[in-house]
Structure 1
Amino acid sequence: MSEISVELPWGAWYRDELHRLQLPGHWEVDVLAPAGGQACTPQDIQAAITAPIDSPPLAELAAGKTSACIVIDDMSRPTRTAMILPPLLNQLRQASIADSAVSIVMATGSHGNVPAEDIAKKVGPEIAATYRVECHDCRGDLAPTGIAYGDRELRVNRTFYEAELKLGISSILPHSFAGFSGGAKLVLPGLTDVQATARSHKFVQLGLRGGADPDRNKFRSEAEQLARTLGMEFIVCVVSNQQRDPSHVFAGDIVAAHRAACHAAPGVFSTELRRDYDCLILNAYPKDNDLIQAENVFIALKTAKSPTVGDDGVIVVTTAASEGVGQHGLFEPGGLSYRPPQPKRFLKNRELWLYAPTVTTQNARALYWEGYPVFQRPEELTAALNQRFPQPTRCGVFPCAPMQQVSDARGAVMGVAV
């Protein structure tokens, strides 16, 4: 029987290759790629940093200060930080802040430790060898801030807290809690203790906060207020295309630069949808480093006006899961917000299948309900799809679902549904 070959981007930060899946030959397959955007040049990045939005120039902010901390996002974000750091470091050097007085902190939140070799991938080997680079530990030696957060005192990363100049580099992606990721989220929950992370997520999970509009999202406004109180003065926000190259870069005030990036993001992430499908393949790239992060594929579905797959259809989540199940102080087994997996109510009667070659079925059951089939071998997935859909079938493929926002037939981009 003939087959249709589909190539999926695969293994962000680890392989960044194309992974081939064979689909039944009698299917109609649409690869629903996002609009994308042209990659920025080094000159574009330099121009954004030297012409900040609603902020004094970085050199002016750095004047008279003797230490600096640059906060970056972790491996679960596509930001090619190594392209952004050099012009920032040059400006700090010109402001007479010594290289030895500059620290780079990876804001992992509760995602767990990142090995040194992976940090080097993010910042570049030369910077990793020259500067002090550390990974935030949400259960480590954290600084008390004197700021009340709920019924506790907020504690944050000590290196960040003690630096005289605080700035950040973050990725802008659709986010189910914060509307868009990045910005002040680098601080809360990126640099806080695990209890603060749990509190910040609690109200969204209860349906009391969140929403697609970052200007009305209380989860985000709380993070921004705290980041300002803690002294974060400057940020670089990056909108990446499907190749993970920076397509738009905005620098300056931690709110103004973030909103400018949020405004530009739909032009890169917009994905035109012209019809409904019997089967939908949601690929987790560029958040395919682990199975926990792969849950972000559903953001693509939640941006649609109406279901994109039929009531009795099948949704296939595909992920490299290069780090296996992954770590998350809230949502991993034993985490503060972990719940045993259940059927996903928003899918209603639709079947959910998981294709994760690096994860055993037993390990996948920590996150995926036992009624959802798990496949490790591509030929087994192909055979199961052939058996499930022996008739002509319409299939849509989202190659990088966590960064895709569905636009309807009229072209109006919908916000993330929470």
Structure 2
Amino acid sequence: MDLKYGSTSFPLLLPPECLAGVIEPVIPLPSQSPEEVISGALDDCEPMLANFAPGDRVVIVTSDITRYTGSEVYLPLLVERLNRQGIPDRNIEILIALGIHRKQTPHEHEKILGPLHGRIRVSDHDCDDRAGLVTVGKTSANIEVSLNRRAVEADRLILTGVIGFHYFAGFGGGRKAILPGIASRQACMASHFCVLNPQPGSGKNPLATTGNLEGNPVHQAMVEACAMVEPDLLLNTVLSPDKRIVAAFAGEWREAHERGCRSYRELFSYPVAAKADLVVVSCGGFPRDINLIQAHKSMEYASQALKPGGVMILLAECRDGFGNATFFDWFRHRTLDRFEAALREQYEINGQTAYSLLQKAQRFTIILVSRFPDHQVKEMGMTPAPSLAAAMEKAGTLLPPLWRALVMPDGGSVLPVAAP
């Protein structure tokens, strides 16, 4: 078996008696084309679209280039439906939900809009532009919600995006187009801060975890913010690991998203009868392992299949390093208590990811095959290895007799769950 690493791969040699299973999603590809999948979803919400009037000013929110959604397929089909309602192109604007990310280049706008580029007005959200934000209320957790003025003042607001697992919001898509997508920097940070329990020293809320919405405080903050503007329509896609649109969910923003999340969980969860002594996980190669922040997703999912104190081998080239200039700085905090205190004092989303990584590095032995210098890997609490073969050799000295292993060839696309 070959496991991807950057633009190449490593062969994995495991004794057959040690292999407990290969964790990968089995996604039935639809008989319909991506365009037909989207059109079918939009057909189901024709009564909602029928309420749109010719004079309406419409803002469509969609994701930035860091999160592929299939927008070049669904945005033209969505605009076509609006045109059918008598809404001209000049009354339609596409707003890129940057959250706290950088602005997009013209080429990136072209990739997101596809054939609509140059035809439909497009703008980037700016989380720091006070004049471009308007405060719409406070959540039950006392988060002041300030959102993009264009979206708030539009006659009709449509949210688009992609549904996938999120390691502390439960799932992506849906309400995330509003918060953090088009919110102020302060609201973005505050909503993510909900991942921590209210009391200092009490750590991360256990309900703020992958694949869970029930009682999840981060999800709750996002839902409350979204309800303040009551979007008129939601369209979310589900993608196969090779980025093909395999399903789409459209309709009332809350119901359509929850329906999509249920479907995604069924498609991308893998039942595991017993946790393993060793999990060997590849992020799936480039670009999924472009940096450590991206690779953390595979590390998080793989940890769900690993026994306490077990060994994880993570293949993550990380040719672009950490993914954020301040990420590595957080590891000056050697203990989780000190790390948590620093997060509470000055919260950063990248600091939260670093905290989550250190939690796993202290629960398991993580052997990282990457481009990072050995001293940096060790400073993050992990063990460096130059190749998969070298990592397996190191793991062999740590594993118990009669050890069992699980393999994840594309760790960021499937979530191991306890078998019923």
TM-score by length of 2: 0.78
Q: Quick one: distance in 2 between partners of 1:148 and 1:238?
A: 29
| 2:134 corresponds to 1:144 | yes
1:34–1:228: structure 2 CA closer, same or farther, 3 Å change rule? same
1:51 deviates by 0.6
Deviation at 1:63, TM superposition (A): 1.3
Matched letter for residue 43 of structure 2: T
| Structure 2 SS opposite 1:297 | helix
Would you say 1:296 and 2:288 are equivalent positions?
A: no
Q: Aligned runs of 1:79-94 on 2, under 5 Å?
A: 79-94=69-84
Question: 1:389 maps to which residue?
Answer: 396
Q: Percent identity?
A: 22
Q: Which runs of no fewer than 5 residues in structure 1 stay unpaired?
A: 12-17, 413-418
Q: Which runs of structure 2 are paired with 1:114-263 in the superposition (5 Å)?
A: 114-124=104-114, 126-141=115-130, 142-148=132-138, 153-206=144-197, 207=204, 210=208, 212-263=211-262
Cα shift at 1:89: 1.0
Shift, 1:312, TM fit: 5.0
**Structure 1 residues 219 and 345: alpha-carbon distance in aligned structure 2, compared to 1, 3 A threshold:** closer
Q: Are the structure 2 counterparts of residues 276 and 84 from structure 1 closer, same or farther at C-alpha, using a change threshold of 3 Å?
A: same
2:341 aligns with none
Q: Distance in 2 between matches of 1:283 and 1:171?
A: 23
1:281-360 map, 5 Å: 281-285=280-284, 288-301=289-302, 304=304, 308-311=305-308, 313-319=310-316, 321=318, 323-327=320-324, 336=348, 338=351, 344-346=358-360, 348=362, 350-357=364-371
TM-superposed deviation, 1:50: 1.7
Equivalents in 1 of 2:119, 2:374: separation in Å?
Answer: 42
Checking the alignment, whether the CA contact within 8 Å between 2:276 and 2:306 is kept in structure 1 is yes
User: Aligned partners of 1:108, 1:373: CA distance in 2, in Å?
Assistant: 34
Deviation per CA, 1:148-184: give whole Å up to 9, x if none: 4576753222332333221121221122322222111
Equivalent residue runs for 1:389-408 within 5 Å: 389=396, 394-408=404-418
Match of 2:64 in 1: 74
1:219 shift after superposition: 2.8
> Which digits, 9 at most, give the CA deviation of each residue in 1:258-301, with x for residues without a partner?
11111211221022435543431333358545322322224424
Structure 1 residue corresponding to 2:37, chosen from 37, 44, 58:
44
Cα drift, residue 348 of structure 1: 4.7
Q: Which amino acid aligns with 1:183?
A: G
Aligned CA-pair RMSD: 3.5
In the TM superposition, residue 349 of structure 1 has moved relative to its aligned partner by 5.1
The 1:123/1:49 distance shift into structure 2, 3 A limit, reads same
For residue 38 of structure 1, report the CA deviation from its aligned partner.
Answer: 1.2
Q: How many residues align?
A: 384
Q: Per the alignment, do residues 114 and 398 of structure 1 end up closer, same or farther by CA in structure 2, a change over 3 Å counting?
A: farther
1:6 aligns with 2:2: yes
* Shift in CA distance, 276/146, structure 1 to aligned 2, threshold 3 Å: closer
Q: 1:301-328 CA deviation, whole Å, 9 max, x = no partner? A: 46x4xxx335554212333546542249
Are the structure 2 counterparts of residues 129 and 374 from structure 1 closer, same or farther at C-alpha, using a change threshold of 3 Å? farther
Cα distance, 1:227 vs. partner?
1.6
Give, as a single letter, the amino acid of the residue that structure 1 aligns with 2:125. Answer: H
Secondary structure of 1:120's counterpart equals helix
Q: Distance in 2 between matches of 1:99 and 1:90?
A: 9
Within the candidate set 82, 102, 105, 2:95 is matched to 105
**SS, match of residue 38 in structure 1:** coil
CA deviations over 1:87-112 (Å, ceiling 9, x no partner): 10101112222223322222222233
**CA distance, structure 2, for counterparts of residue 69 and residue 346 of structure 1:** 41
| SS of alignment partner, residue 62 of structure 1 | coil
Name the residue aligned to 1:371.
Answer: 381
AA partner of residue 336 (structure 1): E
How many Å separate the matches in 2 of 1:25 and 1:346?
Answer: 24
Instruction: Name the SS for the 1:317 alignment partner.
Output: strand
Q: Which whole-Å CA distance do the structure 2 matches of 1:204 and 1:268 have between them? A: 26
Listed as ranges, the gaps of 5+ residues in structure 2 are 198-203, 331-345
Counterpart-to-counterpart distance in 2, 1:336 and 1:179: 19
**Change in 2 beyond 3 A, CA 1:93/1:320:** farther
SS at match of 1:139: coil
